[in-house]
């Protein structure tokens, strides 16, 4: 196998693992919503604390995933060649920019989840 194919297969294996992480995050989010509901309906402080902890955990995990995609986009950008088409250069640059914005949004959401002890701000990831 050539080096490019090995690298692409390795990257796809990592992305498969990331999909498993996303599935775990979906279940964690579902559980955290039930805790949030329990807090608002029954004023259960324990549910509030668990909800906040899970939310912080979710956004910390997502930040790691977002960092992986940012690094991958940066590697693609650095590997551009002068002979690559303008279209490819533009798309790789936009991919890097989008990955950077998503990473920054992850930092912001993690900060909100950590700092908002009273659950005044609704945050979600897409």
Q: 34-80 pLDDT, tens per residue? A: 999 999 999 999 999 999 999 999 999 999 999 999 999 999 999 99
Q: What is the pLDDT of residue 124?
A: 67
Distance CA 30, CA 26 (A): 6
Q: Locate the domains of the chain by residue range.
A: 13-115
Is residue 119 within 8 Å of 48, Cβ to Cβ? yes
pLDDT tens, position by position, 76-107: 999 999 999 999 999 999 999 999 999 999 99
What pLDDT, on a 0 to 100 scale, did the predictor assign at position 3? 74
Q: What confidence score (pLDDT) does residue 16 get?
A: 96
The two three-digit tokens of residue 68, written as one number = 């992986």
pTM for the whole structure? 0.88
For residue 4, name the pLDDT band (cuts at 50, 70, 90): confident
Q: How far is CA 34 from CA 28, 51, 71, 114, in A?
A: 10, 9, 34, 19
């Amino acid at each position: 196998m050539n080096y490019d194919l090995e690298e692409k297969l390795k990257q796809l294996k990592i992305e498969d693992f990331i999909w498993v992480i996303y599935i775990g995050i979906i279940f964690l989010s579902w559980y955290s919503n039930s805790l949030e509901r329990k807090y608002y309906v029954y004023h259960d402080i324990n549910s509030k604390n668990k909800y906040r902890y899970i939310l912080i955990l979710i956004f910390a995990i997502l930040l790691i995933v977002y960092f992986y995609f940012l690094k991958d986009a940066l590697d693609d950008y650095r590997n551009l060649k002068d002979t690559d088409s303008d279209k490819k250069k533009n798309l790789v640059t936009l991919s890097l920019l989008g990955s950077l914005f998503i990473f920054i949004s992850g930092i912001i959401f993690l900060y909100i989840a950590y700092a908002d002890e009273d659950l005044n701000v609704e945050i979600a990831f897409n």
